[in-house]
Structure 1
Amino acid sequence: MSSTNPFLDPGWQADLYGDASRLASRSNALMRAKTSGRHVPDTIVQLVQTHHERADRLGVALDIGCGRGTSSRVIAEQLRPRSLLGLDAAPALIDKARERACRMPGVLVSFLQGDFHQLPLPTGSCDLAVAAFCLYHSLHPERVVAEIDRVLVPGGLAVLVTKSLDSYREIDQLVAAAGLDLRAERHESLYVSAHSGNIASLAAASLDVVTTEHEEHSFTFDGHDHIAEYLATNPKYDLAPGLYGNPGALAAALHEVLPDQLLTTRSVITFVVARSRGGCP
């Protein structure tokens, strides 16, 4: 890893998201380990149903930083807006989202490559905007929130989702104890730009915050082989040559120095629901 935060370094983006399989591998390893915490896309839907006055007749719903389209699909299936638009900066992820998108009568689902600092949508064109696990990829997340406010109709709803600064600290401890990266516990959090501690204030700069919910999610990896699948795609650490992207080599390195055992780690997931200040529709 470079000395800069890889989530905020443009030079890392091709490595992180140039191939959709990297994100899929990391997400799958993490989700297999999950032992507590609500399913995030379902929770987003529930928050919209609770707080949007027209949740049953949405026009345009925008999924910012849609990745491989996981949340987009759930939003389209459960909320059934007239139109669902997923937006991401990575062409490979947009291609995968298009492949995974299901055909649903009555819902126009489409995906677009774009920059969330300059959303390619008209002012006041969206009833709902979701930004889940993406704002920490911006050096200026407040600009993204201002853009969200711009594209929302008066009274439109935004749902912002992020993680705590100390997410997965137990993995940091394991990496340091194994000697894979002795500074693992001292690296800057990947989520420093937009995290559980500042996401509400970021939202409040442009939107009216309706509610903020914090929920601890727990994950238990069933041994070194499992944790290596996650570590191999995590750019946070300064790993020796040949280890990044190589779960087999990482697992072997862990087995060599530490007894194989379960590893439980945690992250606080924060949901902020906020409304455009233009007044109720």
Structure 2
Amino acid sequence: MVEAWTAAQIREAERPHLEAGEPLMRRAADGLADVVRDVLRASSSSRDGRAGRILLLVGSGNNGGDALYAGESLARELVPQGGAVTVVPVGSRVHEAALAAALAAGAVLDDVEAWCDAAVVAGVLPAYDVLLDGLVGTGSNGAGLRGDSLRVVRAVLPVVAGATWGVGAEAAAASASASGTGRDAGTSPAGGSAADGDAIGPAPRVIAVDVPSGIGVDDGALPDPPHVLPADVTVTFGGHKVGLVVGPGAERAGRVVLVDIGIGPDLARMPPAVTTP
């Protein structure tokens, strides 16, 4: 049985802890980094012993801060081993302290414009092992991404999903998977090769930060067209969100990992919005 809460309930449970100065973001980031490490270990055999490479898509909200602090921790381990943590700031602002911490640990900042170009993304994204989707969190109502967030997701989708879900091609995605042009096929969405003549390798594992960006957090709704990155793993904080267990949003969440940030007793005093078997 899984109990799930609305975004408003989660915020209400967090409120006294934030007012008390508890480091909820750091707790969330530590749990997120642990899941990334697990994913990297599971895929280590496909990397020929090289250190992992992680891409952070960072939006303006708190989940962007979660991703950045996780990136700080991971960069301290991976960069000295020859790995990489790349930060793509998407949105009008990012969490300044978390960004500074990530860069001080060895992460590098990249230009968002390059990640809005599908041809560029097709050539460079497969070099990464993990993509952290920290674009939009519990503030999303399923109405859809906008601005650079939308542009980046549209450019990334063909690589991570094997087809452009956002133009109503979900059947094409299934066909691509069956024909060997999906997530692990080792080719570009067009069946060609990466820039500079290098063949595109397996797509990175997508880890959603709290929720897959763009889903309706309280109802699992998808925007129309459904520009949402399908996650292999969603790392959610404090309690399950309704959109992770119901509706088409749940189908984009992949395996859901719940990280305890210390608000469980507060949520236990609230009736869950949804209970699923």
Choose 1 or 2 for highest CA Rg: 1
Structure with more of its chain in strand, by fraction: 1
Q: TM-score, normalised by structure 2?
A: 0.43
Structure holding more helix per residue: 2
Q: TM-score if structure 1 supplies the norm length?
A: 0.43
